[in-house]
């Protein structure tokens, strides 16, 4: 394919309403996940800064595990789960939409 046909395909992709929908969905989803991660992450550090005794409190009498360790473990696992959710949606819905958009754009250009 020549660079002219590539440019035509890119122009058709950008003008496709489904492309605009894809960009909006992907951006909205990424923004939502970012807000969740940042809220949890910075919320934890605000607790560390303003209530450090809570973070150092043991979960139960005689336990070596503190609230801080449990919270960090929860955050670590939760962030992995959020990553898995994003990857699943990206590899499913977003990739399917992308393939449809590219196929539609390529049909009109030879």
Confidence at 70, pLDDT banded by 50, 70, 90? very high
pTM: 0.79
Return contacts of 14-17, CB within 8 angstroms, 24+ apart: 16/101, 16/104, 16/105
Task: Check: CB of residue 4 under 8 Å from CB of residue 97.
Answer: no
How far CA 1 is from CA of 7, 86, 98, 110, in Å, comes to: 10, 33, 20, 8
**Tens-digit pLDDT profile for residues 3-55:** 667 788 888 889 989 999 999 999 999 999 999 999 999 999 999 999 999 99
Confidence check: pLDDT of 108 > 70: no
Exposed / middle / buried, residue 101 (Cβ in 10 Å: 0-12, 13-18, 19+): buried
Beta bridge partners of 66: 58
Task: Check: CB of residue 97 under 8 Å from CB of residue 18.
Answer: yes
* Domain residue spans of the chain: 3-107
């Amino acid at each position: 394919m020549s660079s002219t046909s590539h440019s035509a395909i890119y122009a058709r992709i950008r003008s496709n309403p489904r492309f605009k929908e894809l960009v909006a969905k992907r951006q909205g989803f990424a923004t939502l996940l970012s807000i969740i991660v940042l809220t949890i992450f910075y919320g934890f550090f605000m607790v560390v800064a303003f209530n450090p005794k809570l973070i150092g409190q043991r979960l139960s009498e005689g336990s070596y595990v503190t609230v801080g360790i449990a919270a960090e473990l929860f955050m670590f696992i939760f962030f992995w789960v959020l990553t898995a959710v994003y990857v699943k949606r990206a590899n499913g819905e977003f990739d399917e939409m992308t393939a449809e958009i590219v196929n539609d754009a390529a049909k009109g250009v030879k």
